[in-house]
Amino acid sequence: MLNVFVEITPFDVMKYEVDKESGYLRVDRVQRTSSLPPAIYGFVPRTLAGARVAALMDGAERGDDDPIDVCVLSEQPISRSEVVLQARLVGGIPMLDHAEADDKLLTVLVDDPLLGHIRELEEIPQVIVERLLHYFSTYKLHRGAPANVTVGPPYGRRRAESVVSAALEDYRAAFPEVGTRAP
Query: What domains sit in the chain, N to C, each tagged with a CATH number?
Result: 2-174 (3.90.80.10)
pLDDT, tens only, 98-129: 999 999 999 999 999 999 999 999 999 999 99
Average pLDDT over residues 174-183: 70
Look at residue 21 in the predicted model and tell me its pLDDT. Answer: 72
d(CA 40, CA 60): 26
Residue 179 has pLDDT above 50, yes or no: yes
Higher pLDDT, 8 or 88: 88
Q: Where are the alpha helices (DSSP H) in 30-69?
A: 51-54
Q: Which amino acid is at 78?
A: I
Higher pLDDT, 30 or 59: 59
Q: Where are the alpha helices (DSSP H) in the chain?
A: 51-54, 126-138, 157-174
Chain centroid, CA 43 distance in Å: 6
Residue 143 has pLDDT above 80, yes or no: no
Average pLDDT over residues 46-74: 97
d(CA 130, CA 27): 27
Higher pLDDT, 169 or 79: 169
d(CA 109, CA 148): 31
Model's pTM, two decimal places?
0.89
Look at residue 33 in the predicted model and tell me its pLDDT. Answer: 64
Look at residue 183 in the predicted model and tell me its pLDDT. Answer: 47
Closest Cα partner for 133 from 110, 115, 155, 116?
155
Share of the chain above pLDDT 90, in %: 67
